[in-house]
Amino acid sequence: MARIAVLIDEMFEDVEYTQPAEAFKRKGHELVHIGLKKGIKVKGKKKGTEVTVDTAAGNASAGDYDALFIPGGYSPDHLRVDQDVLDFTKAFVRSGKPVFAICHAPQLLITADVIAGRKVTGWKSIVQDIKNAGAVYVDDAVVEDDNLLSSRGPDDLPAFIEASLKRLEG
């Protein structure tokens, strides 16, 4: 089973975390929550879902994980100001292993400078940001470009989860 790194911070979109996380766990995958500081509790923006950060990004290595999951909400915007998070994200995308990004998650990918020339989707408010980063925006429920799998938002969760699980199965 896969060991999945979850990049997460305050104000993540609860459902964009909880539904994929539950689906991953049901299939036997392990989630490791990576954030700004080990041991802190971060909360979702609507339902206050609590998640404890297992490892600080500065102590995480892309080589230790099989996939990367980035939930949306305000979390990606909070995370993208941290150089350790950006370094981890960049190394992970370049590793060729699966990256699952939903809603506002491309904000982190944009700042890590890893989407130029790639096909990506995301929340409607960041469409222009995606284009300005040199990516090709595609308005579909799930967009797959090599190791990058992205979705627009909560309405796309069933398709996002299905595509992510399929990718984890190999």
Which are the contacts of 72, defined by CB distance < 8 A and separation ≥ 6? 12, 13, 16, 102, 103, 104, 105, 123, 153
| 150: annotated active-site residue | no
Give CA–CA dist 169/55, Å, rounded: 25
Task: State the DSSP H helix or E strand holding residue 56, giving kind and residue range, or none if neither.
Answer: strand 55-56
DSSP 76-113: HHHHTT-HHHHHHHHHHHHHT--EEEETTTHHHHHHTT
- Catalytic hit among 31, 53, 103, 168: 103
Give CA–CA dist 3/154, Å, rounded: 24
User: Which residues does the annotation mark as catalytic?
Assistant: 103
